[in-house]
Structure formats: C-alpha cells, structure tokens
Amino acid sequence: MATYIVLLGPPGVGKGTQSGMLARKIGLVHISSGDLFRENIKNQTELGKLAKSFIDKGELVPDDVTIAMIRERISKPDCKNGAILDGFPRTPVQADALKKTLAEFSGQVKAVYITAEEAVLIERTSGRWLCRKQGHVYHEKFNLPKQAGVCDVDGSELYQRDDDKKETVANRIRVYFEQTLPLVEHYRQIGGLIEINGAQDVEQVTKDLLSALKR
C-alpha cells in the first residue's frame, strides 16, 4: 500500500529540511505546499497572485485552492508509491480532503509531529535562506552553504523569504496554533501519531524520524 508521510509542525521547525533527508533515504517524493505556492508566485500564475496575498500576511491560503493544487500534484505518476507531504494538511478541512483523495488511491497516512519551542522557531526562520531555483534550504548559523549566497546543489542565488520577517512569523505561529494544532489532536486520536523533538540537530532529528517510521 502506498504510504503518504504527513509532516506536521510549526513554521521553522524543520519540516522541509527533514523532508529532503527522508526523500533521499527512503526514496519518496517530497511535496511541499509552500514550495508549490512559491513556484506559482515566481511564475506569476493566477494561483500565485492569489496565494501571495495570503502568504505575505502570514495567513493560510484558502482550503479550496490549496486542496486542488495538492490533489493535482499527488495524482502524478511519481506519487503512486506514496509521498512526503510537507505543510499539507494544515486545517481539518484539508485533512478530510486528503483522507478522501488517498482512499481513491488506496493510500495510507503516517502522521509525524515535529515540535520545538517558539524561541527555536524564531531563530530558525530569521536565519533561513532559500535557493531561487529549487528552494533548497540553508541557515546562516546552522546550515551554511559552501560559498556564501550560493546554493551548493544548483548554484543559484540564495534569498530570504519575505514572510520570514519577525512580524509575519509571529502571525504564522499564531495561525498555526489556531488552525493547524487541532489536526495534531485529530491524528493522535486516530492513533499512530509519531512525535519527534525538533529542537535537536538535523542529523539527530533524522535518526529519530527514521527509527520511528520503521517501528
């Protein structure tokens, strides 16, 4: 049965970083709703224009367009054995839509909740740098590129996200507590929720994740 690993957790906790590590180790595709929106913004699509108006404020993009975007992405052939879903679902409506979509594909969900306290999230988001081409993620203290300002993988320029500004991060954390945290409880009640301490270094978080997923 295809397995879809859902990574839940607050902004900056390391979902994207760990998704990349997991994708390499277990060979599943990494799908990030935030990356898909940023790609649409870069390409100036209608979806990108709509998403930007929410992302800039640190609000969630409406469920209907987010669900349609993810449904389209996971119906592609490279997701037939499963995928790592990073940042989706983020609301109970999205979780319900995912459940229905995966029932069509005979897929199962494994939910992982990565946590860290707010000071860690602020330090991580304020030092985050992304590459323009493919969104590879770096940190100015914890994960430096070999050459300053340049992506190790594809050589493209690194930039800081507008929504990683302190005020916007504060709103994203508030939105996370209000709209996404209830999902954690939902997955805990269903059973099998994996909980990981995201305040450790990247390698230790990956080790914990891999061993929990094997169980």
Catalytic residue IDs: 15, 90, 128, 161, 172
Measured CA distances, 92 to 88, 131, 145, 185 (Å): 11, 31, 37, 10
Considering only the stretches 30-38, 97-105, 115-123, 148-156, report the one whose residues sit in contact with ligand AMP under the rule CB under 6 A.
Answer: 30-38
**The residue count for the chain:** 215
Looking at 30, 94, 131, 158, which residue binds ligand AMP (CB under 6 A)? 94
CB 215 to ligand AMP: min, Å: 27
Considering only the stretches 61-69, 105-113, 145-153, 197-205, report the one whose residues sit in contact with ligand ADP under the rule CB under 6 A.
Answer: 197-205
Q: Are 10 and 116 in contact (CB under 8 A)?
A: yes
Q: Are 32 and 19 in contact (CB under 8 A)?
A: yes
Residue by residue, DSSP assigns 159-213 as: E--GGGSHHHHHHHHHHIIIIIHHHHHHHHHHS--EEEETTS-HHHHHHHHHHHH
Nearer to ligand AMP, 165 or 211 (CB): 165
If one asks whether residue 111 binds ligand AMP (CB under 6 A), the answer comes out as no
If one asks whether residue 160 binds ligand ADP (CB under 6 A), the answer comes out as no
Looking at 4, 88, 113, 138, which residue binds ligand AMP (CB under 6 A)? 88
- Phi, psi torsion values for 3, nearest 5 degrees: -115, 130
Nearer to ligand ADP, 54 or 142 (CB): 142
Q: Which of residues 86-125 bind ligand ADP (CB under 6 A)?
A: 124
CA gap 19, 126 in Å, rounded: 20
According to DSSP, residue 57 is labeled T
If one asks whether residue 142 binds ligand ADP (CB under 6 A), the answer comes out as yes
If one asks whether residue 34 binds ligand AMP (CB under 6 A), the answer comes out as yes
Which of helix, strand or coil describes residue 37? helix
If one asks whether residue 38 binds ligand ADP (CB under 6 A), the answer comes out as no
Considering only the stretches 39-47, 51-59, 104-112, 206-214, report the one whose residues sit in contact with ligand AMP under the rule CB under 6 A.
Answer: 51-59
Considering only the stretches 52-60, 77-85, 166-174, 201-209, report the one whose residues sit in contact with ligand ADP under the rule CB under 6 A.
Answer: 201-209
Strand order of the β-sheet with 29-32 is 29-32, 82-86, 2-8, 107-115, 194-197
Q: Which residues bind ligand ADP (CB under 6 A)?
A: 9, 11-17, 124, 127-128, 137-139, 142-143, 201-202, 205
